[in-house]
Chain A
Amino acid sequence: MRLGMVIDLKRCIGCYGCQIACKAENGTRPGTTYARVLKREFGTYPNVKKQSLPLLCMHCGDAPCIEVCPTGASQKRSDGIVFIDADMCVGCRACMMACPYAARYFQDEERNYFGVGMAPTAYEVSRYQDHQSGVVEKCDFCRHRLDQDKEPACVANCMCKARIFGNLDDPESEVSRLIKEESGFQLNAEWGTDPSVYYLPAER
């Protein structure tokens, strides 16, 4: 089994719902967005276009971040999920230098959202205790939710159904069908990282 995601660029309206759902689900600190949305404008008036590009860890088949990790903290499960064991991570950040998708975030110190010198809110205290300082973090396809037979938070909360999750190895799965029928592509496949996240073109 190889878990993966398809993101339909035709459907995405750039609402940032996935980004916020991910932050709420994982209780990440300020500046850390495992799922995020890039927006681009191109063309010249009157022929201008705006394109949203939702991003997350690509759970690469050939993950350069794992190759360079000196402690084995960056690992891959048998279902293809690339994750970091925070207890093994030493915060050397070699993996951040190797990841071309900007999917990794160093947790240098505990920050809070509401004010210099102010105490963190009760919500922040309770959520940030799941995160260590001095280590690198990233998306793990919401492993904890998958264990409960739920979809990753960004998928479950996308109101446009632009994100679809499934088994890439199963030719009958919806993700495999979409990739085949709608010319799914990997982001910058030429880097040789073999991402498990596919995109469907913005135009047919």
Chain B
Amino acid sequence: MTISETRSISRQMTSQPDYLDLRRQDLNSTYRPQREWIEGRGILIVIAHFFAGIGAGAWIFSILFDYRVGEIMAVVSIGLSGLAHLAFLGRWQRFLRILARPNSSWVSRGMWGTLLYGIGALVYFLPGVRDTLMGSISLGISLFGVTLVLLCSGYVYSVSKAIPFWHTVLVPILYIAYGLRGGVALLLVAAVFGGSSLDIDTMETIKLWVLASTIVLILFYLIIANRSGGAASYSVHELVAGRISVAFYGGTIGIGILVPLALAIGREFGLAGMLTLGIIGFASLIGDFYVKYCVVKAGTYVPLGDAVGPVSPKIV
């Protein structure tokens, strides 16, 4: 019997062999990728943070520009984020268990942010409340909630000491910038499909500034991570030339940065119309999703066991 025949029989004998093979392979590899927050149900975490970011950003700008359609879309986004979190945890009681210890971790602070935002926004929406003292209080609560959400979704990653690519304050900054950028993008899409009382020109200017700052931020983040060496620079390598490069170049850079940039420049030269704006917004939203997807997927643990001998290319 050949080795591959033996392997195939052992695969048939073991339930879900791919999962177990991967786990075995990871535990023996020098650079172990994190899989729990990206593969299988783990993708729900990325989806949850994507909706949380754009929902928070959209709420801030909708309030700023007094844009009702945007407010509704922001609340729907945060609702979707909550649902994705719930689906990841599996049982709603687990959500309550996290809420029961508000200051224990960034995970619980983020959950509280979502809850406060949800409650504040819903009260603010009640008929006759908006222009009253109650309206101001609920608005204050909702804004406090979105601030927490924006802060926490990045900090949840950056506290992970074991994953050097995440363990930097640049991750929360990136998540805040992308949350704001996604918020503006959502409002641009809302303006196209939901009718507009929105000051489009101002929104576009904001969008361009945020777009430019996210480009600088991503570059800065990648350069710093690459310079740190070890697992962090391995993560950068995975992004720019490894298993995540298609998502990085296609989603984050191509659709997320180049398409909005090209269309925005095109608008300066007469490529007008709400549809162009809508496409800019939509492409930016896809880019926002992919930047989070890529950052999370590139997470790689510090290599274990260098202390007992040099890292060897061959690990048996």
Contacts and interface: CB of A to CB of B under 8 A. Distances in A.
A155 interface: no
B101 A71 contact: yes
A112 B100 CA distance: 35
B304 A188 contact: yes
Contact of A38 (B90, B160, B161, B304): B304
Nearest to B306: A188
Interface string A30-42: 1101001011111
Given A31-B19, A38-B28, A188 B302 contact: yes
A166 interface: no
A39 to B, nearest CB: 5
B48 to A, nearest CB: 11
Contacts of A3: none
A84 interface: no
Contacts of A76: none
Interface string B151-181: 0000011011111001000000000000000
Nearest to B111: A70
A64 B162 CA distance: 9
Contacts, number: 152
Contact of A97 (B88, B91, B108, B160): B160
Interface in B265-316: 299, 301-302, 304-310, 312, 314-316
A187 interface: yes
B98 A38 contact: no
Interface string A61-74: 00010011111100
A134 B90 contact: yes
Nearest to A116: B15
Contacts of A40: 305, 308-309, 312, 315-316
Nearest to B310: A42
Contacts of B104: 69-72
A30 to B, nearest CB: 6
B250 to A, nearest CB: 26
A193 to B, nearest CB: 8
Contact of A39 (B37, B41, B111, B315): B315
Given A38-B315, A134-B90, A53 B305 contact: yes
Contacts of B307: 185, 187-188, 199
Interface in B169-226: none
Kindly name the residue among A70, A134, A188, A192 whose own CB sees the greatest number of chain B CB atoms within 10 A.
A70
A42 B234 CA distance: 21
A93 B44 CA distance: 13
Given A97-B160, A188-B302, A191-B161, A106 B36 contact: yes
B308 A9 contact: yes
Chain A residues touching B, range = 35 or more
Contacts of A116: 12, 14-16
A74 to B, nearest CB: 10
Nearest to A88: B97
B105 interface: yes
Contacts of B23: 31
A187 B304 contact: yes
Interface in B95-111: 97-98, 100-101, 104-108, 111
Nearest to B30: A40
Contact of B105 (A36, A41, A94, A108): A94
Contacts of A88: 97
Contacts of A27: none
**Quick one: which of B20, B34, B159, B308 has the most chain A CB within 10 A?**
B308
B32 interface: yes
B27 interface: yes
30 contacts: A30-B14, A30-B15, A38-B315, A53-B304, A55-B304, A64-B160, A64-B161, A69-B104, A71-B100, A71-B101, A72-B104, A90-B94, A91-B89, A92-B107, A93-B42, A94-B107, A96-B34, A97-B163, A102-B27, A106-B36, A112-B15, A114-B13, A115-B13, A115-B14, A115-B15, A134-B90, A185-B307, A188-B304, A199-B307, A199-B308
Interface of B: 12-16, 19-20, 23-24, 27-28, 32, 34, 36-37, 40-42, 88-91, 94, 97-98, 100-101, 104-108, 111, 156-157, 159-163, 166, 299, 301-302, 304-310, 312, 314-316
* Nearest 10 A/B pairs, CB to CB: A90-B94, A100-B162, A70-B107, A97-B160, A42-B312, A70-B108, A70-B105, A93-B36, A70-B98, A31-B20
Given A91-B94, A116-B12, A187-B307, 4 more contacts: A55-B304, A102-B27, A113-B13, A188-B302
